[in-house]
Structure 1
Amino acid sequence: MENVDFELRGEYVALCDLLKIAGVVTSGGEGKARVDAGGVMVDGQPESRRTAKIHAGQVVECDGVRIAVR
């Protein structure tokens, strides 16, 4: 599994935006599709909300990539 550290610049980032910014997907639409398909985990739990607010300290996993939000 590839590990990516993501430095948060505000209070939170929307899940589908994080997937795009971190390079897991190539577009926002692809990020939304991944979430809709059930392929995204947040802190070890499946996440189905496209715009779930991801805060510092959380870990997102998708397509073999682990994103640690700092």
Structure 2
Amino acid sequence: MEKIEFTINGEFIELLGLLKVTGVAQTGGHAKLIVEDEEVFRNGELETRKRAKLVAGDIIEVGDEIRIVLK
């Protein structure tokens, strides 16, 4: 599993934005598809809210391939 550490600038980052900025999704449309296909887990729980506000300490997993740790 690929591990990515990402530092948030500000209080939070929205899920779609995180997927785009880390390169997990190539476009906003691709990011939406990843979420709609129920491939994203936040702290072990399925995350279906495209605009979910992620904060430092959250762990995002995309399928079995990518883990993003937010700082």
TM-score using structure 1 length:
0.96
CA RMSD, Structure 1 to Structure 2 (Å): 0.7
| Number of aligned positions between the proteins | 70
Q: Deviations over 1:12-51 (max 9, x none)?
A: 0000110111111101111111101101000011000000
TM-score using structure 2 length:
0.94
* Percentage of identical aligned residues: 37
The residue aligned with 1:6 is 6
For residue 3 of structure 1, give the secondary structure of its aligned residue in structure 2: strand
The amino acid of 1:69's aligned partner reads L
Structure 1: runs of 5+ lacking an equivalent: none
1:1-70 → structure 2 map (5 Å cutoff): 1-63=1-63, 64-70=65-71
Structure 1 runs of 4+ aligned residues shifted over 3 Å read none
Structure 2: runs of 5+ lacking an equivalent: none
